[in-house]
Amino acid sequence: MSDSDLGREMGRVDRFAYRFFWSLLWLVLKACFRFRVVGGEHLPKEEPYILAPVHRSYLDTPVGGMVTARRLRFLGKESLWRSRLGGRFLTIVGGFPVERGTADRAALRACQEVLERGEPMVMFPEGTRRYGPVVLAEEMHAGPAFVATRAGVPIVPLGIAGTDHAMPGGSPFIRPTRVFMVVGEPLRPPVVAGRVPRRVVDELTVELRQRMQAVFDEAQRLAGRPALPRPLPPDQAEGG
């Protein structure tokens, strides 16, 4: 992966473009969801970090990106960069391509490189969208803890409540719904020289899950509603 793919440094035009698109999206999302951020002071101001949100909706990525005006980096399928204009836009807003089918090790190495260049990034510890008010231990991935330890950066848990009601699983429509985001205190990994022991990664993942659950609980409390349960299959939903 080249330096241009990872985006070592944004030029003046790119910085202006990012601020323009971020501000525009902030206004749209604020109007639709009247979102509120609690605990924003926990976000590191200058050092790189991993933002680790709970994941209950496709809206979590754009909404979660509103917790800071700093450009947050995120992984994207390499095919999305086939369009020169589209790829340029994705890079400006923080995306960087990873070839589909690439080993997890290569993707994690790319994440580590981004962090070592001083940029914060988003990683979903649950991997994909999940359902319900509980962050389950068996659905947690070790990637964020591993990358954080290798790069020596903190992980910041983020609880998001309301996005699943705004865009439930399987629904193509977005409904205006109040959204709350709670930012937890940074979780700093132990200093490790050389190879990262599996035990360190596992222990950090366990603590991260607990902190994610705490901020998720608080976000749900503020929203006044729990996360939606997993939708029933069509045959069961119809009583079949």
Comparing 24-28, 46-50, 82-86, the range with the smallest average pLDDT is 82-86
Q: What is the pLDDT of residues 105-127, one digit of tens each?
A: 778 888 999 999 999 999 999 98
Average pLDDT taken over every residue of the chain: 88
- Give me the mean pLDDT over the 169-195 stretch: 92
Is 11's pLDDT higher than 90?
Answer: no
For the chain, the domains span: 3-228
Q: What is the pLDDT of residue 3?
A: 45
- What is the SS3 assignment for 163? helix
- Give me the mean pLDDT over the 52-81 stretch: 90
Do 169 and 142 meet the contact criterion of CB atoms below 8 Å apart? no
Q: What is the pLDDT of residue 6?
A: 56
Q: Read off the pTM.
A: 0.89
Domain 3-228 fold: Glycerol-3-phosphate (1)-acyltransferase (3.40.1130)
Q: What is the pLDDT of residue 122?
A: 94
- What is the SS3 assignment for 97? strand
Do 120 and 44 meet the contact criterion of CB atoms below 8 Å apart? yes
- Give me the mean pLDDT over the 175-183 stretch: 96
What is the Rg, in whole angstroms, of the alpha carbon atoms belonging to the chain?
A: 18
Q: What is the pLDDT of residue 147?
A: 95
Q: What is the pLDDT of residue 171?
A: 80
Q: What is the pLDDT of residues 137-170, one digit of tens each?
A: 999 999 999 999 999 999 999 999 999 999 987 7
Q: What is the pLDDT of residue 206?
A: 98
Q: What is the pLDDT of residue 100?
A: 56
Q: Could you count the other beta carbons within 10 Å of the beta carbon of residue 132? A: 13
Is 27's pLDDT higher than 60?
Answer: yes
Task: Work out the pLDDT band at 240, boundaries 50, 70, 90.
Answer: very low
